[in-house]
Amino acid sequence: MPVIKADLDLCQGYANCVMEAPKFFDINDDGVVVVLEEEFPEGSRSRVEAAVRSCPVSALRIEE
């Protein structure tokens, strides 16, 4: 199953990922991304990919 990975050092808290896929991403009190569900089913792939692409600092990726 594919897995979401986040580089917390790169994250700037833009929250684009949260807007694209709120089931999988949130922003904590420090303004850094929180991955709510690391693993995701293929049925959610398009939404997760859109969230990953929306990150302006490329802090997110999908690992197969």
User: Where exactly are the structural domains of the chain?
Assistant: 3-63
Low-confidence ranges of the chain (pLDDT < 70): none
Q: How many CB atoms lie within 10 A of CB 55?
A: 22
Residue range 3-63 in CATH 3.30.70.20:
yes
Q: What is the pLDDT of residue 7?
A: 98
- Cα-Cα end-to-end distance for the chain: 7
Q: DSSP string covering 15-38, please?
A: -HHHHH-TTTEEE-TTS-EEES-S
Q: What is the pLDDT of residue 53?
A: 98
In the numeric block, the tokens 């398009």 are attached to 46
